[in-house]
Amino acid sequence: MITLSRILIWAWLVVGGAAFAESYPARSIKLIVPYPAGGGTDIAARWIGQKLSEALHQQIVVDNRAGANGNLGTNVIAKAAPDGYLIGMATPGPVTVGRSLYPDLPYDPQRELIPIALANESPIVLVVNPSVAAKSLQELIGLAKAKPGALTAALVSTGSVPHLLTEMLKAAAG
């Protein structure tokens, strides 16, 4: 769980000590979420934004910039002026996988983004509809092998971590 002290440390790292000496923040801070409202990243960002707003006595504006598996919003974060008035949430897709899937990615995550805090962790869970005749992973793999093409997977987006894990499971299971 993220505590208020961790958020304050996070804020300090985002803007640097010098900015606080200049009465930072003098205006609202934009917090970019590279996904639509309502998802896990957005929920975490809104909670963090509320706590930062209370601690800094300044409005934190959550700005959802969805599209291209998080790459559009992450590009906005990467290209922002380094003044502490635009911060962002990052997820593994656009930061670690994006370059492999999208060779023309308009930002370089290793050069243009600096991780400052682990905001949340989200488990990835494999579930099936109760009508599927599988009660374990082994049974699901057996069913998929017995009926090629009969099963489908619901995933966040192409290139997302859940998508890549599903492909890895398919490859490992044959």
Q: What is the pLDDT of residues 16-35, one digit of tens each?
A: 555 555 689 999 999 999 99
With a pLDDT cut of 90, the percent of the chain lying above it is 62
pTM recorded for the entire structure: 0.75
Q: Are residues 41 and 106 in the same domain?
A: yes
Q: Is residue 123 part of a domain?
A: no
What is the extent of the structural domain holding 149?
Answer: 137-173
Per-residue pLDDT tens over the stretch 94-149: 888 888 888 899 999 999 999 988 888 878 889 999 999 999 999 999 999 999 99
Q: Is residue 122 part of a domain?
A: no
Rounded to 10°, the helix 4-21/40-56 angle is 60
Rounded CA-CA distance 106/103 in Å is: 9
Task: Find the length of the chain.
Answer: 174
**163: pLDDT strictly greater than 70:** yes
Which among 112, 146, 163 is the end of a domain? Answer: 112
Largest CA distance in the chain: 67
Q: Is residue 87 part of a domain?
A: yes
Q: Are residues 98 and 49 in the same domain?
A: yes
Distances (CA, A) of 117 to 13, 112, 152: 9, 16, 35
Structure tokens at 117: 């805090």
Rounded CA-CA distance 85/145 in Å is: 52
Structure tokens at 164: 């890549």
Q: Are residues 143 and 103 in the same domain?
A: no
In 3-state terms, what secondary structure has residue 1?
A: coil
The pair phi, psi for residue 32, each rounded to 5°, is -80, 130
Q: Are residues 100 and 169 in the same domain?
A: no
Q: Are residues 156 and 107 in the same domain?
A: no
Least reliable range by pLDDT among 66-80, 134-148, 153-167? 153-167
Domain count, the chain: 2
Q: Is residue 64 part of a domain?
A: yes
Q: Are residues 148 and 97 in the same domain?
A: no
CB 50 within 8 A of CB 35: no
Name residue, tokens 């023309």: 104
Instruction: Check the CA dihedral 145-146-149-154 and report its sign.
Output: negative
Q: Are residues 14 and 89 in the same domain?
A: yes
**70: pLDDT strictly greater than 80:** yes
Q: Are residues 31 and 106 in the same domain?
A: yes
Shortest CA distance to 82 belongs to which of 44, 114, 39? Answer: 114
Q: Is residue 47 part of a domain?
A: yes
Q: Is residue 164 part of a domain?
A: yes
The domain that holds 52 is classified in CATH as 3.40.190.150
Distances (CA, A) of 77 to 12, 52, 89, 131: 18, 18, 9, 43
Q: Are residues 146 and 87 in the same domain?
A: no
Q: Is residue 20 part of a domain?
A: yes
Q: Are residues 99 and 21 in the same domain?
A: yes
Q: Is residue 155 part of a domain?
A: yes
Q: Are residues 162 and 84 in the same domain?
A: no
Q: Are residues 106 and 149 in the same domain?
A: no
